């Protein structure tokens, strides 16, 4: 089911003229995000985004980005517009990956309820 266009939020664009440090955070975020090996996690209670691709770990806590590897740890405060861009882009990628996972498993689904019932009975 497709979302009506009037309900679809407009993609925020990356703010222009970022300082070097904030631009580097965005570049690292984008590189990790598009890497299929990167694990994406979200904590809905704390509104934190996590990107993990060994040896790198990145946490987005509101306007703060924390980037860690086995040697260094950097904490950078971002502008509100950058925070909005990163949050939206992260959520969009998580949604895309979840849909792909859903389709992967739905493509294997048996459509016959009788066979499913037999299989469930064998579980006990």
Mind listing the pLDDT tens digit for each residue in 86-106? 999 999 999 999 999 888 887
d(CA 49, CA 58): 8
pLDDT of residue 2: 62
pLDDT of residue 10: 66
Summarised one tens digit per residue, pLDDT across range 23-82 is 999 999 999 999 999 999 999 899 899 999 999 999 999 899 999 998 999 999 999 999
Strands (E), 17-107: 39-43, 48-53, 56-61, 64-68, 73-77
What are the structural domain ranges in the chain?
20-122
pLDDT higher than threshold 90 for residue 3: no
Write out the H or E segment, with its range, that includes residue 78: none
pLDDT higher than threshold 60 for residue 12: yes
């Amino acid at each position: 089911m497709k979302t009506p266009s009037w309900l679809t939020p407009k993609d925020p664009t990356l703010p222009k003229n970022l300082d070097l440090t904030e631009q580097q955070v965005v570049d690292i975020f984008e590189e990790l995000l598009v890497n299929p090996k990167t694990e994406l996690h979200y904590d809905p209670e704390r509104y934190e985004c996590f990107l993990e691709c060994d040896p790198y770990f990145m946490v987005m806590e509101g306007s703060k980005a924390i980037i860690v590897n086995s040697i260094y740890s950097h904490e950078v405060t971002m502008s509100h517009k950058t925070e909005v861009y990163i949050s939206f882009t992260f959520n969009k990628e998580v949604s895309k990956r979840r849909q792909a996972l859903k389709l992967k498993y739905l493509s294997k689904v048996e459509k016959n309820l009788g066979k499913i019932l037999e299989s469930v009975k064998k579980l006990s």
